[in-house]
A and B are shown apart, each in its own frame.
Chain A
Amino acid sequence: MEFGWSQEQEALRDRLQAFLDASLPADWEATASLSPGSQAVTDFSREFCPQLADEGLLCSHWPEEHGGSGASAWDHFIIGERLWEAGEPRGPQYYNVNWIGPTILAYGSEEQKAEHLGRMRTGNVVWCQGFSEPSGGSDLAAIRTRAVKQPGDDGRYLVNGQKIWTSYARLSEYCFLVAKTGDARRDVSVFLLPMDRPGITVRPIYSVVGDGDLHEVFFDDVEVFENERLGPEGKGWEVIRYSLDFERVGIPRYALAIKTLDRAVAELQRGDAFVAEAEQDAALALTKCEAARMLVYEVVDKRMRDRPDTGSASVARFATVCAERAVADFVLDWTPHLFTSDEAPMVATHHKRAIAAGLAAGAAEIQLNLVARDVLGLGV
Chain B
Amino acid sequence: MDFTLSEDQQMLMTGFEGLLSNYRSAPHGQHGYVCYSPEFQQELRDSGFLEIASQPGFGLLEAAMLVEEAATCPISVEAAASMMIGPLVGDATGPVALVWHAGRPVRFLAQARTLCLFEGDDVLVGDAAPRDIEALDSVAAYPMARLRAKPAGLERLTGADAAAIRRRAQIGIAAEAAGLMRGALDNTVAYVKEREQYGQPLGHFQAIQHRLAEDAQIVRAAKLLALRAAFEDSDRQAAIACLYAQDAMRKVIYDCHQFSGAMGLTLEFPLHLWTYRLKVLQGEAGGRAAQGRVVSRETWGASQVGAAAEPVAEGVA
Contacts and interface: CB of A to CB of B under 8 A. Distances in A.
Interface string A289-332: 01110110110011001000000100100110010000000000
A2 interface: yes
Contact of A298 (B3, B208, B209, B302): B3
A372 interface: yes
A368 B221 contact: no
Contact of A1 (B61, B213, B299, B302): B61
B87 interface: no
A276 interface: yes
Nearest to A77: B1
A378 B189 contact: yes
A1 B288 contact: no
B38 to A, nearest CB: 32
B2 A295 contact: no
Contact of B2 (A282, A301, A369): A301
Contacts of B308: 276
A265 B292 CA distance: 14
B228 A3 contact: yes
A234 B218 CA distance: 37
B1 A378 contact: no
A3 B64 CA distance: 13
Contact of A290 (B2, B240, B288, B305): B240
A377 B289 CA distance: 36
Contacts of B244: 287-288, 290-291
Nearest to B188: A376
Interface stretch (A159-167, A207-215, A266-274): A266-274
Nearest to B10: A1
A126 interface: no
Chain B binding surface, main DSSP class: helix
A275 B295 contact: no
Interface residues of B, number: 53
A44 interface: no
A52 interface: no
Contacts of B239: 283
A5 B228 CA distance: 12
Contacts of B218: 291
A266 B302 CA distance: 10
B304 interface: yes
Name the interface size band of chain A.
Answer: 35 or more
B300 A319 contact: no
Contacts of B210: 365, 368-369, 372
B214 A286 contact: no
Contacts of B192: 378
A315 B209 contact: no
Given A1-B227, A279-B307, A290-B244, A377 B193 contact: yes
Contacts of B21: none
B24 interface: no
B306 A275 contact: yes
Contacts of A275: 304-307
A269 B296 CA distance: 12
A88 to B, nearest CB: 22
A169 to B, nearest CB: 32
A365 B193 CA distance: 20
Contacts of A274: 296, 300, 302, 304-305
Interface in B1-19: 1-6, 9
A280 interface: yes
Contact of A376 (B216, B288, B305): B216
A283 B292 contact: yes
Contacts of B4: 1, 301, 305
B270 to A, nearest CB: 19
A322 B214 CA distance: 10
Given A3-B228, A301-B4, A315 B217 contact: yes
B240 A282 contact: no
B228 A294 contact: yes
Interface string A40-77: 00000000000000000000000000000000001000
B11 to A, nearest CB: 13
A380 interface: yes
Interface of A: 1-5, 9, 74, 262, 265-266, 269, 272-276, 279-280, 282-284, 286-288, 290-292, 294-295, 297-298, 301-302, 305, 312, 315, 318-319, 322, 365, 367-369, 371-372, 375-378, 380
Q: Which A-B residue pairs are the 10 nearest by beta carbons?
A: A291-B221, A372-B209, A371-B213, A283-B295, A283-B292, A294-B224, A279-B296, A287-B244, A368-B213, A301-B3
Given A74-B1, A283-B299, A372-B206, 14 more contacts: A1-B227, A4-B231, A265-B300, A273-B305, A276-B293, A279-B304, A284-B243, A290-B240, A291-B222, A297-B3, A365-B210, A375-B213, A376-B209, A378-B203
26 contacts: A1-B2, A1-B4, A1-B61, A262-B300, A269-B300, A274-B302, A276-B304, A279-B292, A283-B239, A283-B293, A290-B240, A291-B225, A295-B221, A295-B224, A302-B3, A315-B216, A368-B209, A369-B210, A371-B213, A371-B217, A372-B210, A372-B212, A376-B189, A376-B203, A376-B212, A380-B204
